[in-house]
């Protein structure tokens, strides 16, 4: 399934965006299925705080706006509620410790990811990983899953003053590679990605298997839905 308005060009309201030279790829829900380990850490945190644990599926629906928001949602059981400030302050270091200790228990690359990044690199695209996850978790995850060497630059949630959905991380990567935003494609799984891409002026593909706070990624504002990362190179080459 794709959402292109024409079969031979990648475009949005501002006109043609190809040729793409840089591909920026989100981490959680796009490269790696981290949900089970995020949920494991959340439930260990809740247990340590003497609070009832939650189903893994429930916590998966909380993923998408960073660890602090995940902690808040796990504490309250709601998407937008605010927990007691003292409880939150106590919970954050507990969660981070448990997540660091269980970072790769169940986390694996999604099907097609290894072939996808390998094919993109062989096709000559410059690759960047862009995530809201803290660097202290991002880099060990990339190394453990054999993905680190594919990316020339990794921008984590604490690498810059702002993170997605702000366009700053995307524009930083464009500046790093010396390309205009129209030539830097973002691949992600959530509204954080599409909002950031639109603000930066970058094209964006979405995968349907990620988190997006439990909402259907096929409804996101993107140029295309790709069933797996392995489809990205074929689609880009077809359109270039």
- Top CATH class, 11-33+107-239: alpha beta
Contact 148, 139 (CB under 8 A): yes
Instruction: Check pLDDT > 80 for residue 11.
Output: no
What is the C-alpha to C-alpha distance for residues 79 and 236, in angstroms, rounded to an integer? 36
Instruction: Check pLDDT > 50 for residue 12.
Output: no
pLDDT 10s digits, 185-208:
999 999 999 999 999 999 999 999
Tokens of 78: 């709601």
Q: Which residue has 């080459």 as its token pair?
A: 237
What is the C-alpha to C-alpha distance for residues 42 and 68, in angstroms, rounded to an integer? 11
Please report the pLDDT score of residue 222 as a whole number: 95
pLDDT 10s digits, 69-127:
999 999 999 999 999 999 999 999 999 999 999 999 999 999 999 999 999 999 999 99
Tokens of 148: 């680190």
Q: Active-site residue 26, yes or no?
A: yes
- CATH numeric code, 35-101: 1.10.150
Strand order in the sheet with 204-206: 153-155, 126-130, 22-25, 184-188, 204-206, 224-225
**Chain mean pLDDT for the chain:** 91
Please report the pLDDT score of residue 239 as a whole number: 67
**Taking the domains of the chain in order of start, what are their residue ranges?**
11-33+107-239, 35-101
Q: Which of 8, 14, 26, 37 is catalytic?
A: 26
Query: What's the Cα-to-Cα distance from 145 to each of 63, 113, 150, rounded to whole Å?
Result: 20, 11, 11
Whether omega for the bond prior to residue 165 falls within 30 degrees of 0, making it cis, is yes
CB atoms within 10 A of CB 162: 12
Contact 95, 41 (CB under 8 A): yes
Please report the pLDDT score of residue 214 as a whole number: 76
Please report the pLDDT score of residue 18 as a whole number: 56
pLDDT 10s digits, 27-80:
999 999 999 999 999 999 999 999 999 999 999 899 878 899 999 999 999 999
| Cα torsion through 177, 183, 189, 191, rounded to 10 | 100
Please report the pLDDT score of residue 240 as a whole number: 61
Please report the pLDDT score of residue 13 as a whole number: 44
Q: Which residue has 């340590």 as its token pair?
A: 48
pLDDT 10s digits, 136-187:
999 999 999 999 999 999 999 999 999 999 999 999 999 999 999 999 999 9
């Amino acid at each position: 399934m794709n959402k292109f308005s024409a079969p031979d060009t990648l475009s949005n309201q501002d006109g043609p965006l190809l040729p793409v030279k840089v591909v920026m790829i989100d981490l959680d829900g796009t490269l790696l299925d981290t949900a089970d380990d995020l949920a494991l850490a959340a439930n260990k945190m809740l247990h340590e705080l003497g609070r009832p644990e939650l189903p893994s599926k429930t916590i998966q629906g909380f993923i998408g706006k960073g660890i602090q928001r995940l902690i808040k949602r796990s504490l309250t059981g709601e998407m937008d509620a605010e927990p007691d400030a003292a409880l939150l302050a106590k919970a954050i270091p507990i969660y981070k410790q448990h997540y660091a200790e269980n970072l790769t228990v169940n986390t694996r690359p999604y099907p097609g990811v290894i072939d996808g990044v390998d094919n993109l690199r062989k096709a000559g695209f410059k690759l960047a990983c862009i995530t809201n996850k803290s660097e202290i978790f991002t880099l060990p995850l990339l190394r453990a899953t054999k993905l680190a060497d594919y990316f020339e630059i990794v921008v984590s949630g604490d690498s810059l003053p702002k993170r997605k959905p702000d366009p700053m991380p995307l524009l930083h990567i464009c500046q790093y590679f010396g390309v205009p935003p129209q030539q830097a494609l973002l691949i992600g799984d959530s509204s954080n990605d599409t909002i950031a891409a639109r603000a930066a002026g970058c094209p964006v593909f979405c995968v349907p298997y990620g988190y997006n706070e439990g909402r259907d990624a096929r409804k996101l504002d993107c140029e295309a839905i790709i069933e797996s990362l392995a489809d990205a190179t074929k689609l880009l080459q077809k359109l270039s």
